[in-house]
Amino acid sequence: DARVTQTPRDKVTEMGQEVTMRCQPILGHNTVFWYRQTMMQGLELLAYFRNRAPLDDSGMPKDRFSAEMPDATLATLKIQPSEPRDSAVYFCASGLGTGVADTQYFGPGTRLTVL
């Protein structure tokens, strides 16, 4: 049963520290999404890639967030420096298609707490 995996599952860090979250998409999927979810804002799309190229990163604070796909099996989301307001659950999802609203398969998420 193919699944999206995310590491770490939980991360507690102090303000100002760098945080790197990793995602392994389902093998063969060509689209990878990064989301952030909080109680106040709900589910927000940060960025997504298709065939490793960024298609939309307008939801991501550019000054401190960066997203990359070093290869087809790994996507990373980095926050530097982290701030308490970045505390949230970060989800990665992957899909296979050419449309925007094609089916996405979500990972279990990384719960980030910035103190």
Nearer to another protein, 16 or 97 (CB): 97
Backbone angles phi, psi at 104, to 5 degrees: -115, 145
x/- track of binding to another protein for residues 41-80 (CB under 8 A): -xxxx--x------xx-x----------------------
**Residue 101 binding another protein, by CB under 8 A:** yes
Whole-angstrom distance, CA of residue 100 vs CA of residue 106: 15
Residue 66's beta-bridge partner residues? Answer: 78
**Stretch touching another protein by CB under 8 A, among 12-20, 21-29, 60-68, 102-110:** 102-110
Neighbours of 103 (CB within 10 A): 11
Helix (H, G, I), strand (E, B) or coil at 86: helix
Which stretches of the chain bind another protein, using CB under 8 A? 4, 33, 42-45, 48, 55-56, 58, 91, 93, 99-109
